[in-house]
Structure 1
Amino acid sequence: MTGYIEVFGHGGDVETAASRFGGNAADFLDYSANINPLGPPKEVLEALEQGLQSVLRYPDPGHRGFKSVLSERLGVPQDRISVGNGAAESMALILLGLAPQKVGTVEPGFSEYRSLARQFGAEVQHVEGREELEWCAEPEDIERLMEQVDLLFLGQPNNPNGVQYSVEILHRLARKAEKTGTILVIDEAFMDFIPESRRHSLAPRLEEYPQVIIIRSMTKFYAIPGLRLGYALGRPEWIRAMTEKQVTWSVNGLALIAGEACLRSGERFEQDTLAQIARERARLKAGLESYGCVVTPGEANFILVRLPEPWTAASMQAALGERGILIRSCAMYPGLGERHVRLAVKDAEANECLLEALGSVMGRPDHKRHMIGAGGTCDDTAVL
């Protein structure tokens, strides 16, 4: 079977997987979407249950309750915060509100940077990362691109390689943005999955860099992608310009309730998440390398992998799809090749299932039958 599952350009499309391979969408073990394997904090589920009656009312168009809690949590004034229906809406509002004519991207990178920019009429230019730099780009190449564009998107850590630029490089690029007048949009959607001591971010010094906007997501770390919630941080006049382009009530009431509960859920959830991601990323990396895969040593809750020959992203996606496991092809990312895939980091039981299934399709003889729960079995035969 050939052809990729990402017909809409993103991972997490279990509906397309079900139509391609058969079975129920809910039964797939989804390694193509990078969501916290712990699920939402219990405080979030409790808040949603208690707040169900809010569906009878319009949500607050000013997002005031969530914005107030977020402002206190971040130590950022509310007039520097824009709340969006996921980080993707924040990107769209930046493009609509600030209207850049030329947009720069660093590839490989999140496909929405390119697609949204083109959707809103901007010309897109890019530079490519280098494998020896773990798919990051040379700072000099990024600076030259900044001289040619009105706005530049930069993933931090970047998707799909999960690698951060150093804080020194970020400061350097922020200073360059001031000289060139370029809007530097730093996408920190996966920053929460990195221990605080290792996070490279300009957020603590954002007021020093008026050309920088930071985007963050609530949906990945707090496992609420179905609700859609994100935000942007930037100078007040840019936040106002974005707000003027936002559709009223674009952020629903349940998402705002969940957002407040996420921010009040406490350190235990964060610590448990970071511990599990670090442990399971190392476990997956070791298992994948034992199969001859080349693993990019990123820091986020996903892993960029180059499969050994003769496997391609398409053939492995099909082989695992028949076994009820969905992975993300990265063959369509500029700069990467037909053998690149991205795998989420999940819990130990799911990761064991993935490794066993990989071993099975790659002809490894030493894999045990292992149950993964209601979603199916990890076996040498298809689960669908």
Structure 2
Amino acid sequence: MVLEVYGHGGDLVTASARYGVAAGEWTDFSANINPLGPPPGLLEVLREALPDIVRYPDPGHRALVTLLAARLQVEEGALVVGNGAAENMALALLGLAPGKVGVVEPCFSEYRTLAEQFGARVLSVFGTEERAFRATPEEVEGLIRETDLAFIGQPNNPNGVQYGLDELRRFAAAGERYGTYVVIDEAFIDFIPEPERRTLLPELLDYPHLILVRSMTKFYAIPGLRLGYAIAHPETARRMRDKQVTWSVNALALRAGEFCLRADVSYERATLELVKEQREKLVGELTRLGCQTWPGEANFLLVRVPEPWTAETMQTALGRRGVLVRSCAMYPGLTKRDIRVAVKEEPACDKLLRELNAVLGDSLKEESC
């Protein structure tokens, strides 16, 4: 039975009801959130801001937009602040009204879900295992040619890999050639060290049909507040904002975003160091346990469990031990043996490996009996 009844990880309510583990006792690897938690001092700032809930939030998100524009070196009119990255994806679909939407499978399920909710026909191409589930540039370019708007994950969820910069330029140029909007989802790009990030942000003005979508909830560990933004040509950004529900971003989320953008750079450095170290450790230990992994660059890994295990049986076995992983069996293009695990702090990763080792060890004992 599918645990992800709402199509996403992090559903502790459903997991607790199914496995009998209290919500506060989970070690949750199913949601990809910064293992360090929010930047130091953020919770105190939010407590101080609680009296602001008696007033409406700024519908123009002006303080946050000013900070974002300065950090990203873009004009303020190019920004759309939203209730998470998902709202910005929805606003792109609403504002641009594509009849056909392209997705590269496997990918974040909201691309297809939102497109179908808003009446678009969805076309897809598939990445291959040999390319770490990236589609070929020719296939992506063909998808762009055949659609009005195409989503591309960078790094992609659930495999965590990036396309090269020249490939991204090729996709963006195809968007201009065919009049197709190319939405590059960079929700996890902050988890990649800057020299290794592949982004067209510095070249954004060269591609009027290009939209970059980013999340603040994941890197700054505030998913319960919901905060994200899009960067696009000012006219495209205006069309997106014109479809936005007034006050969709609450006052506490805006205050959190402003604080996070002013956070000490040591928080970002510590995050990147921790993620790199623990990701490499997980890859090595998971391989030793007979699992297959792909070269993810963000704060999560796509993992194929050894036979005869499936994503469902592994999720159940670990769930009963208080460890939650994300089944990827429902992702088009993946198999019933695929799961996704977040990269977390060392004690949590040690617990995952310990419980996984115990589960796999128990199955080997049963086979030998």
Query: What TM-score, normalized by structure 2, do the two folds share?
Result: 0.97
Which secondary structure state, in structure 1, belongs to the residue aligned with residue 122 of structure 2? strand
Task: Indicate if the aligned counterparts of 1:191 and 1:199 stay in contact, CA closer than 8 A.
Answer: yes
Question: Secondary structure of the equivalent of 1:231?
Answer: strand
Whole-Å separation in 2 of the counterparts to 1:321 and 1:263: 36
What is the letter of the counterpart of residue 143 of structure 1?
Answer: E
Task: Specify the alignment match of 1:48 in structure 2.
Answer: 46
Give the superposition deviation at 1:42.
1.2
Tell me which residue corresponds to 2:170. 172
Query: CA offsets per residue over residues 97-134 of structure 1, 9 Å max, x none?
Result: 11000000000000000000000000000000010000
**Is the 2:21–2:320 contact (alpha carbons within 8 Å) kept by the matching residues of 1?**
no
Q: How does 1:323-342 map to 2 (within 5 A)?
A: 323-342=321-340
Whole-angstrom distance in 2 between the partners of 1:107 and 1:45: 38
Query: By how many angstroms is 1:286 displaced?
Result: 0.8
| Aligned position for 1:89 | 87
The partner residue of 1:103 within 97, 101, 104 is 101
Q: Map of 1:29-44 to 2, 5 A cutoff?
A: 29-44=27-42
**CA-CA distance at 1:359 after TM superposition:** 0.5
Structure 2 letter corresponding to 1:183:
Y
Q: C-alpha deviations, 1:186-221, integer Å up to 9, x for none?
A: 000000000000000000110111110000000000
Q: Deviations over 1:122-164 (max 9, x none)?
A: 0000000010000100000111111110000000000000000
Q: Which residue of 2 aligns with 1:145?
A: 143
The code of the aligned residue for 1:25 comes to A
Unaligned 5+ segments in structure 2 are: 364-369
Tell me, what secondary structure is at the counterpart of 2:32? Answer: coil
Aligned partner of 2:207 in structure 1 is 209
Unaligned runs of 5+ in 1: 366-384
Q: What is the Cα deviation at residue 46 of structure 1? A: 2.6
Partners of 1:26 and 1:329 in 2: CA distance: 21
Partner of 2:126: 128
Moved over 6 A (4+): none
Contact 1:4–1:317, Cα closer than 8 Å, also in 2 = no
Q: CA deviation at 1:302?
A: 0.1
Tell me by how many angstroms 1:242 deviates: 1.0
Aligned to 1:160, which of 147, 150, 158? 158
CA distance in 1, matches of 2:23, 2:99: 40
Letter in 2 for 1:309: E
Q: What SS does the aligned partner of 1:353 have?
A: helix
**1:364 Cα deviation from its structure 2 partner:** 6.5
**1:14 partner amino acid:** L
Secondary structure class of the residue paired with 2:41: helix
- Which stretch shifts more, 38-47 or 141-150? 38-47
CA RMSD of aligned residues (A): 0.9
CA distance in 2, matches of 1:291, 1:177: 43
Superposed counterparts of 1:242-257, under 5 Å: 242-257=240-255
How big is each residue's C-alpha offset from its partner over 1:1-35, in whole Å with a ceiling of 9 and x where there is no partner?
xx121000000001000010113122111100000
Q: For residue 376 of structure 1, what is the aligned residue in structure 2?
A: none
Task: String of CA shifts for 1:312-331, please: whole Å, max 9, x gaps.
Answer: 00000000010011100000
Q: How does 1:191-210 map to 2 (within 5 A)?
A: 191-210=189-208
Q: Is 2:30 the partner of 1:13?
A: no
